[in-house]
Amino acid sequence: MDIIESRTWIEWVITIAKFAFCFVPVLYILLLIPMERRGAGFMQDRQGPNRSYIKIPFFGKIRLLGYVQNMCDGTKLFFKEMFAPAGVNKILYYVAPAIPFAIVFLSPCVIPWFGPMVFEWGGQVVRIPGSIVDSEVGVLLLFGLSSLSAYGAVLAGWASKSKYSFLGALRTSSMTISYEVCLGLSMMGMLLLAGSFNLTDIVNWQEHHVWGIVAQPVAFFCFLIACIAETGRAPFDVAEGEPELVAGYHTEYGAMQFGLFYMGEYSHICINSFLVATLFLGGYSVPFVTTETMQAHMGGSLAVLCGVLAFFALAFLHLIYRYSRKLKATNLTNRFEILREYSLYKIVAWLAVAVFIAGGVCAWLYYDPSKFVVNGFAVGGLATAVGTALIHLLVLIAKSVFFCWVWIWVRWTLPRFRYDHVMHLGWKIILNIALINLVVTAVIAKLVGGN
C-alpha cells in the first residue's frame, strides 16, 4: 500500500492521534456545566449547587467544588425512560436530537489546535498541520456544518406535534438564517486581511502582524454578538423563551434525548468560543512571542509554562486557605467536616505546585534537544515540536475558556430580547455595520497593502 508508505510512522501516529480533538467539545461540556451553574450563583450572589457529595475514607464527604452535582444530573438523565408522546412523528422525533450532536463531532476538524509541527525525522523534514483537516476552505466548512445543525431544532419542533415546540422551531430557523448572514459577513474583513480561508493561515497572519481584535474591533463585536445569537442562548433565547413557549422546540423531549439537545447547545458554545479565539484573539499563538523564538528557547518556554501553572495552583491554595480561616471563626455545625474535605484539596494542590516547580526547574536546567537520542536516533526535533504544540494548545484553551465565561456572563447579565427586537438587531443593525466594515476594510487594505 503506497498510501501508507508515503509517510513515516511518526506522521501516521500524530495524524491519527489528532482525531482525539474531535472529543474536545464533548469534554468542554463537563467544564461548561459546572461553570454555568456556579457562575450563575456567583452573578446572583448565592452559592450555586454544591451539596451533592461522594463519601471517601479519611477525608469524608468530597463535593469537588460542586462538581459531583453534575455527575448526579448526568446519571439521572442517562437512566431516565425515553418517552415519546402520542401522535408524534416517530422517525423524525428520534432522529432530530442526534443531528446537532453528530455535527458537534465534525465541527472541530478545521480548528488549528497548534501551529504546524515541523521537525526533522531520520534525515527528512516532516510537516504536520495543526488541524485535523488541513483544507484551504477551512472556516467555510465550519459554517456549512453549523448551518446544518439548526435542522435538529426545526425537525424536533415539527415532529413533536405541539404548538409550543412548533413555534420554537419556527423562531429557531428564522433566527439561524438571519444570524448566519451576520456571522459570515463580519468575519469577511478578517479573511480579507489574511487573504485565506484557512484558519492556520489566519492565525499565522495574526502572529506576524496584530491580533484580529486590534485590526478589526468592529467586526469582533459584530461577530461575538452573532455568535451568541447563533448558539440560541440568553439574551437571544427567543426559541425557548420560558414565559412564552414553555421550553421551545424541546418541550416534548425528556431523558437523554433532551440531554442531547442540551449537550449540543453547550458544544456549540465551545466551538464558537474556539472560533472567536482563533479568528480575533490570535488562536494558538502566544502573545508577544513568535513561534520561532519559542522554539529557539524551548527549555525556558517550558519553564515559564510550568511557572504559570504553579501560579494557578498557588492561587487556588490561597483561596482555600483564606476560606478555611474564615470558616474556622464561624460556629457552623458542619465546619469541621468541610475543613476535612478541604485538606484533600490542599494536599492535591501542594503536590501540583511541587510537581510544576520541579518540572519547570528541570526544563530550565536540563532541556537540550541535541541530547535526546533513543537507540542512536535523534528525537530532539520531535521533542521541541511536541513542546511547542503543548504550549500552543494550552494557550488556545485558555483563550477559549475566557470566551466561554463571556457566554455565561452575558446570559446572566442581560434580560431576554423580544422576538422582533432580535430580528431588528440582526438585519438592520449588525448586518449593516458588518457590511460597512467590510467595505472600509477592503478600501484600506487596497490603499495600504495594495493587494
C-alpha closest to that of 260 among 36, 82, 97: 97
- CA dist., res. 329 & res. 322, Å (int): 11
Which SS3 state, helix, strand or coil, does residue 209 take? Answer: coil
Q: Which CB, 145 or 339, lies closer to other proteins?
A: 145
Which SS3 state, helix, strand or coil, does residue 46 take? Answer: coil
The CB-of-401 to other proteins minimum distance in angstroms stands at 29
Which SS3 state, helix, strand or coil, does residue 331 take? Answer: coil
What residues does 55 pair with on adjacent strands?
61
Q: Which CB, 3 or 447, lies closer to other proteins?
A: 3
The CB-of-157 to other proteins minimum distance in angstroms stands at 8
The CB-of-137 to other proteins minimum distance in angstroms stands at 5
The CB-of-74 to other proteins minimum distance in angstroms stands at 31
Q: Which CB, 100 or 282, lies closer to other proteins?
A: 100
Q: Which CB, 147 or 324, lies closer to other proteins?
A: 147
How buried is residue 1: exposed, middle or buried, by Cβ count under 10 Å (0-12/13-18/19+)?
A: exposed
The CB-of-216 to other proteins minimum distance in angstroms stands at 21
Distances (CA, A) of 390 to 128, 242, 294: 14, 43, 12
What helix, strand, coil percent values describe the chain, rounded to 5?
A: 75, 5, 25
Q: Which amino acid is at 126?
A: V
Q: Which CB, 152 or 381, lies closer to other proteins?
A: 152
Q: Which CB, 275 or 385, lies closer to other proteins?
A: 275
Cβ-based neighbours of 31, under 8 Å, separated by 6 or more: 401, 404
The CB-of-39 to other proteins minimum distance in angstroms stands at 32
The CB-of-198 to other proteins minimum distance in angstroms stands at 9
Cβ-based neighbours of 422, under 8 Å, separated by 6 or more: 175, 229, 236, 238
Q: Which CB, 170 or 390, lies closer to other proteins?
A: 170
The CB-of-55 to other proteins minimum distance in angstroms stands at 50
Q: At what angle do helices 255-280 and 139-148 cross, to 10 degrees?
A: 160
- CA dist., res. 153 & res. 257, Å (int): 12
| Residues lying near other proteins in the complex (CB under 8 A) | 135-137, 140-141, 143-145, 147-148, 150-151, 154-155, 157-158, 166, 169-170, 173-174, 176-177, 180, 197
Q: Which CB, 101 or 197, lies closer to other proteins?
A: 197
